[in-house]
Amino acid sequence: MKKWWSAFSLVLLALAYLVASVRYFPGRPDQTLIATGRELLAVGALAAGGTLLLVSFLQRSSGERLPWDRVARIFLTGGLCLEVFLALHHAMGG
Protein backbone atom coordinates (compact mmCIF):
# COMPACT_ATOMS: atom_id res chain seq x y z
CA MET A 1 0.00 0.00 0.00
CA LYS A 2 2.78 2.41 0.87
CA LYS A 3 4.62 1.86 -2.43
CA TRP A 4 1.40 2.44 -4.39
CA TRP A 5 0.70 5.68 -2.50
CA SER A 6 4.27 6.87 -3.05
CA ALA A 7 4.03 6.35 -6.81
CA PHE A 8 0.58 7.95 -6.95
CA SER A 9 1.67 11.03 -5.01
CA LEU A 10 4.74 11.41 -7.25
CA VAL A 11 2.52 11.35 -10.35
CA LEU A 12 0.18 13.92 -8.76
CA LEU A 13 3.14 16.16 -7.99
CA ALA A 14 4.36 15.89 -11.59
CA LEU A 15 0.88 16.74 -12.91
CA ALA A 16 0.65 19.74 -10.59
CA TYR A 17 4.04 20.93 -11.86
CA LEU A 18 2.89 20.60 -15.48
CA VAL A 19 -0.40 22.40 -14.81
CA ALA A 20 1.43 25.24 -13.06
CA SER A 21 3.74 25.52 -16.08
CA VAL A 22 0.96 26.18 -18.57
CA ARG A 23 0.89 29.73 -19.92
CA TYR A 24 -2.52 30.06 -21.54
CA PHE A 25 -3.29 32.44 -24.41
CA PRO A 26 -7.02 32.34 -25.28
CA GLY A 27 -7.64 31.44 -28.91
CA ARG A 28 -3.93 30.95 -29.69
CA PRO A 29 -2.90 27.35 -29.05
CA ASP A 30 0.43 27.78 -30.83
CA GLN A 31 1.39 30.68 -28.58
CA THR A 32 0.27 28.65 -25.55
CA LEU A 33 2.54 25.73 -26.51
CA ILE A 34 5.52 27.99 -27.19
CA ALA A 35 5.16 29.94 -23.93
CA THR A 36 4.61 26.74 -21.94
CA GLY A 37 7.68 25.11 -23.50
CA ARG A 38 9.80 28.14 -22.73
CA GLU A 39 8.55 28.17 -19.16
CA LEU A 40 9.30 24.47 -18.69
CA LEU A 41 12.83 24.90 -20.04
CA ALA A 42 13.60 28.04 -18.04
CA VAL A 43 12.17 26.93 -14.71
CA GLY A 44 13.28 23.34 -15.24
CA ALA A 45 16.88 24.50 -15.51
CA LEU A 46 16.59 26.54 -12.31
CA ALA A 47 14.88 23.70 -10.46
CA ALA A 48 17.47 21.20 -11.73
CA GLY A 49 20.33 23.40 -10.52
CA GLY A 50 18.75 23.88 -7.12
CA THR A 51 18.03 20.18 -6.88
CA LEU A 52 21.63 19.35 -7.77
CA LEU A 53 22.94 21.62 -5.03
CA LEU A 54 20.47 20.40 -2.40
CA VAL A 55 20.90 16.71 -3.22
CA SER A 56 24.68 17.09 -3.24
CA PHE A 57 24.55 18.69 0.21
CA LEU A 58 22.16 16.05 1.58
CA GLN A 59 24.25 13.18 0.23
CA ARG A 60 27.48 14.56 1.64
CA SER A 61 25.93 15.19 5.05
CA SER A 62 24.27 11.76 5.29
CA GLY A 63 27.00 9.78 3.55
CA GLU A 64 24.62 7.80 1.34
CA ARG A 65 22.83 8.29 -1.95
CA LEU A 66 19.24 9.49 -2.02
CA PRO A 67 16.70 7.30 -3.84
CA TRP A 68 15.63 8.55 -7.27
CA ASP A 69 12.05 9.18 -6.16
CA ARG A 70 13.26 11.46 -3.36
CA VAL A 71 15.38 13.41 -5.85
CA ALA A 72 12.38 13.66 -8.21
CA ARG A 73 10.21 14.96 -5.37
CA ILE A 74 12.78 17.62 -4.51
CA PHE A 75 12.97 18.69 -8.17
CA LEU A 76 9.19 18.78 -8.64
CA THR A 77 8.54 20.60 -5.37
CA GLY A 78 11.15 23.26 -6.12
CA GLY A 79 9.89 23.62 -9.68
CA LEU A 80 6.30 23.86 -8.52
CA CYS A 81 7.14 26.60 -6.03
CA LEU A 82 9.03 28.55 -8.70
CA GLU A 83 6.17 28.10 -11.19
CA VAL A 84 3.56 29.35 -8.74
CA PHE A 85 5.56 32.48 -7.93
CA LEU A 86 6.31 33.15 -11.60
CA ALA A 87 2.65 32.62 -12.54
CA LEU A 88 1.64 35.17 -9.92
CA HIS A 89 4.28 37.55 -11.25
CA HIS A 90 3.02 37.17 -14.83
CA ALA A 91 -0.62 37.46 -13.77
CA MET A 92 0.06 40.73 -11.95
CA GLY A 93 1.55 42.22 -15.09
CA GLY A 94 5.24 41.70 -14.42
List the domain range (segments joined by +) for residue 87: 2-91
pLDDT by residue (tens digit) across 28-64?
A: 999 999 999 999 999 999 999 999 999 999 999 999 9
Q: What is the mean pLDDT of the chain?
A: 91
> For the segment 75-87, what is each residue's pLDDT rounded down to a tens digit?
999 999 999 898 8
For residues 23 and 90, is the Cβ–Cβ distance under 8 A? Answer: yes
pLDDT of residue 17: 92
Q: Quick one: pLDDT at residue 1?
A: 63
Phi-psi region of 27 (alpha: psi -120 to 50; beta: other; left: phi over 0): left
For position 26, what pLDDT does the model report?
93
pLDDT for residue 94: 66
Q: What pTM value is reported for the model?
A: 0.86
Kindly state the average pLDDT of the residues 1-10.
86
3-state helix, strand, coil in the chain (%, to 5): 85, 0, 15
* The pLDDT value given to residue 87: 84
How many domains is the chain built from?
1
